């Protein structure tokens, strides 16, 4: 129970400072437990499961995940006394971080999206996908997917599900294009953002968020100046798309950490107190994007 109470505190603090949260409900990766933990629980309960991908198909695991989602959505925050499903501090939910599966995910996505909306129809709902293209747009797989590979998701097909309210893409060319030049990675980033913005606006007609991007300190040639330059380029593209009244809501950097969290460092960490120039890049983008806000009509 103490862990969910810690989440209560995070939501309450965000509310205090006027922040809005996108709450991601699970993780494709084993970090923080992820889908692997659900498979292990099912295995311990006697289920015949053979891989972590059984998360998406095994009835027992689907029940576990749905029950967990219901518990979170209907929870009464112990500090604010507001149910999560009613809390305006929460901008939206994402069904899972970076879900991947070798077969069609649309049945699973539709089922989980309907489940979320059954308990919470007040908040926006997203998927948390990286944005890889699939079979329905084969030419985009070749032209835009990292190394022209399939990754088990389909940006266009998956986001056409009506219960999904906004799209997202993640971008980690330092991981996806390992060994390629910084110039090649920057070109990929520019094209990746452009095609997802265009498809979100013209094909899916849903707003886009760049849900995660960053620059790794583990790559050859890294300096903080290189990271700041890269982030400025990405931020400028986001700003220009937003300024043109395009359907883009911003970009979220991976990942800001506090001091004393060295055990969580993955190369992408930004500690604001130790990286003031990068903090300034983020601050300036926040000011620019905030200036584009328009009040909602009554």
Instruction: Give CA torsion, residues 109, 115, 120, 124, to 10 deg.
Output: 10
Sign of CA dihedral 277, 282, 284, 285: positive
User: What does the alpha-carbon distance between residue 286 and residue 31 come to, in Å, rounded to a whole number?
Assistant: 29
Nearest to 153 by CA among 172, 140, 166: 140
User: What does the alpha-carbon distance between residue 228 and residue 278 come to, in Å, rounded to a whole number?
Assistant: 6
Class of domain 166-298: alpha beta
pLDDT digits (tens, 9 = 90+) for 140-195: 999 999 999 999 899 999 999 999 999 999 999 999 999 999 999 999 999 999 99
Nearest to 207 by CA among 242, 172, 176: 242
User: What does the alpha-carbon distance between residue 214 and residue 229 come to, in Å, rounded to a whole number?
Assistant: 11
Which residues have CB under 8 Å from 59's CB, separation 6+?
Answer: none
> Is the distance from CB of 244 to CB of 282 less than 8 angstroms?
no
Instruction: Give CA torsion, residues 171, 253, 20, 85, to 10 deg.
Output: 50
Q: 290 phi and psi, to 5 degrees? A: -65, -30
Nearest to 128 by CA among 113, 114, 117: 113
Domain boundaries, the chain: 1-128, 166-298
Could you tell me which CATH number the domain at 1-128 has?
3.20.20.80
Per-residue tokens: 93? 């939910």
Fold match between 1-128 and 166-298?
Answer: yes
| pLDDT tens sequence for the chain (298 residues) | 578 999 999 999 999 999 999 999 999 999 988 999 999 999 999 999 999 999 999 999 999 999 999 999 999 999 999 999 999 999 999 999 999 998 889 999 999 999 999 999 999 999 999 999 999 998 999 999 999 999 989 999 999 999 999 999 999 999 999 999 999 999 999 999 999 999 999 999 999 999 999 999 999 999 999 999 999 999 999 999 999 877 899 999 999 999 999 999 999 999 999 999 999 999 999 999 999 987 655 5
């Amino acid at each position: 129970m103490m862990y969910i109470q810690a989440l209560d505190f995070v939501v309450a603090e965000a509310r205090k400072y006027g922040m809005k949260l996108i709450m991601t409900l699970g993780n494709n990766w084993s970090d923080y437990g992820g889908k692997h933990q659900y498979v292990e629980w099912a295995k311990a309960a006697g289920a015949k499961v053979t891989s972590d991908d059984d998360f998406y198909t095994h009835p027992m695991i689907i029940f576990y995940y749905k029950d967990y989602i219901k518990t979170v959505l209907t929870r009464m925050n112990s500090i604010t006394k507001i149910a999560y499903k009613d809390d305006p501090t929460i901008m939206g939910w994402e069904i899972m971080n970076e879900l991947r599966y070798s077969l069609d995910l649309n049945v699973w996505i539709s089922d989980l999206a309907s489940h979320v909306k059954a308990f919470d129809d007040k908040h926006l709902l997203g998927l948390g996908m990286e944005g890889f293209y699939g079979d329905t747009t084969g030419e985009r797989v070749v032209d835009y997917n990292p190394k022209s590979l399939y990754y088990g998701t389909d940006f266009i097909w998956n986001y056409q599900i009506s219960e999904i309210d906004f799209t997202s893409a993640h971008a980690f060319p330092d991981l996806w294009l390992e060994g390629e030049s910084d110039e090649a990675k920057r070109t990929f980033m520019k094209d990746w953002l452009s095609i997802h913005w265009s498809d979100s606006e013209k094909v899916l007609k849903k707003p886009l968020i760049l849900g995660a991007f960053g620059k790794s300190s583990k790559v050859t040639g890294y300096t903080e100046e290189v990271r700041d330059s890269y982030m400025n380029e990405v931020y400028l593209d986001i700003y220009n798309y937003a300024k043109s009244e395009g359907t883009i809501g911003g970009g979220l950097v991976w990942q800001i950490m506090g001091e004393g969290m060295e055990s969580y460092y993955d190369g992408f960490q930004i500690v604001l107190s130790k990286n003031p120039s990068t903090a300034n890049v983020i601050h300036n983008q926040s000011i620019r994007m905030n200036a584009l806000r328009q009040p909602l009509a009554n």
